[in-house]
Amino acid sequence: MQKQWHLPLYTIVSIACILLITAVFAGCSAPAPQAATAPVTAAATVQPAAPTPLPTEVTAPVTATATPAPTTSAVTTAPAPVYTPSEKTLIVYTAASLKGVSKKLGTEFSRMYPGHSVTFNLDGTQALKTQVENGAYADVFISASNSYTNTLKGEGYFINSTVKPLTTNYVIVIVPATNPGNIKTLSDLATPGKKIAMAGSTVPVGTATYAALANLAKSTYGSEWNKSVFSNVVTYENAEPAVATKVSLGEVDAGFVYESTYTAAPAGTLTAISIPKADNYLQTYTIGVMRQTKNSGVAQEFTDFMLGSSGQQILNEYGFRPAS
């Protein structure tokens, strides 16, 4: 028979206590590494996120991309419109060569159409065209150049169906009444030392002058004469009336203008030398209502007046010729 060992009761209690205390300490210390790991991981995730808003600062160049705006506005040199719409006053952009006749035309229109008046903006057609393209307001446009008229029609500024031939004009030579340059014939224009004024090549009367001189050189005087005439030109003006002014003041010996300007000049101030019609350049004027007009009815009435017997008679009195 085997001998059985029995542990005392106090020993069993002591062992149980030791095991319980060990379990308690193990339970308290084991979670610690797990708790520490979690914050570290969270901190690592948040830390890189902090810089991410910084790239939004790249939106600053968006402001920089707006800088072309001032450049655009700087390039846009369009002047503010000189005239504004009015129910009573019609704004008519008019070739400068109608300066002499414009006052009578305006007076007669107002008499025939009470309550309405006309303001003429007189300048070279090339300048008027540019003003319109830059945004200036006009109800009616009277052009001394088919070329500029066609350009404005193509750009959509006219009510195209209203554009009609208005009148015509020939180029002539004028000299002061005292004739200090002793210019009596077209041949004299080539004499060395003479002072001649003409309009620039972009001005309608300048275009007509160049064409007439080329025709004269070809038919009668020769290319050397033509070169000599141009060598005597001392000024190229931007509008036809400025040429007449130079001649009237005696600043030049001769100038190329339209017949109508000579007719409108005060008696005894100028002498004219005509250019044969076979060599001359007949300039055609046109009139039309602008698409932007706020007074289409009155604008059409003025156009009808200019094309009718009253307007045509006045134009004829001032040296303009019929359109047909």
What pLDDT was estimated at residue 324? 74
Q: Does 17 reside within a domain? A: no
Residues 163 and 175 in one domain: no
**Would the pTM count as exceeding 0.75?**
no
Domain extent, residue 193, equals 171-273
Average confidence (pLDDT) over 83-100 = 86
The count of structural domains within the chain is 2
Residues 123 and 94 in one domain: yes
Average confidence (pLDDT) over 59-87 = 39
pLDDT band, very low/low/confident/very high, at 196 (cuts 50, 70, 90): very high
Spatial strand order in the sheet of 117-123? 117-123, 89-95, 140-143, 283-289, 164-169
Residues 294 and 148 in one domain: yes
Q: Does 26 reside within a domain? A: no
DSSP string over 169-195: E-EEEEEETT-TT---SGGGGGSTT--
Average confidence (pLDDT) over 18-35 = 44
pLDDT band, very low/low/confident/very high, at 83 (cuts 50, 70, 90): low
Give residue 94's Cα distance to chain centre. Answer: 17
- Report the b/e string of 222-245 with b at 16+ CB within 10 A: eeebbebbeebbebebbbbbbbbe
CATH of the domain at 299: 3.40.190.10
With H, G, I as helix, E, B as strand and everything else as coil, classify residue 6: coil
Residues 229 and 217 in one domain: yes
Q: Does 126 reside within a domain? A: yes
Pairwise CA distance, residues 147 & 246, whole Å: 27
Residues 176 and 310 in one domain: no
Residues 197 and 134 in one domain: no
Residues 160 and 187 in one domain: no
What pLDDT was estimated at residue 199? 97
Residue 119 β-bridge partners = 91
Residues 114 and 188 in one domain: no
Q: Does 133 reside within a domain? A: yes
pLDDT band, very low/low/confident/very high, at 214 (cuts 50, 70, 90): very high
Q: Does 51 reside within a domain? A: no
Q: Is pLDDT larger for residue 168 or for residue 55?
A: 168
What pLDDT was estimated at residue 285? 98
Q: Does 16 reside within a domain? A: no
The residue among 73, 90, 78 whose CA lies nearest residue 134 is 78
Pairwise CA distance, residues 101 & 231, whole Å: 33
Pairwise CA distance, residues 113 & 105, whole Å: 12
Q: Does 288 reside within a domain? A: yes
Residues 263 and 230 in one domain: yes
The rounded percent of the chain whose pLDDT value lies above 90 is: 73
What pLDDT was estimated at residue 274? 97
Note the pLDDT tens digit of each residue in 122-180: 999 999 999 999 999 999 999 999 999 999 999 999 999 999 999 999 999 999 999 99
Note the pLDDT tens digit of each residue in 250-298: 999 999 999 999 999 999 999 999 999 999 999 999 999 999 999 999 9
Average confidence (pLDDT) over 227-246 = 97
C-alpha pair distances (Å), 72 with each of 62, 136, 319: 17, 19, 46
Q: Is pLDDT larger for residue 75 or for residue 224?
A: 224
Residues 199 and 252 in one domain: yes
DSSP string over 245-292: HHHHTTSSSEEEEEHHHHHHSPTTSEEEE---TTT---EEEEEEEBTT
Rg, Å, the chain Cα set: 45
Q: Does 60 reside within a domain? A: no
Residues 164 and 288 in one domain: yes
What pLDDT was estimated at residue 88? 83
Q: Is pLDDT larger for residue 314 or for residue 23?
A: 314
Note the pLDDT tens digit of each residue in 104-132: 999 999 999 999 999 999 999 999 999 99
Residues 129 and 221 in one domain: no
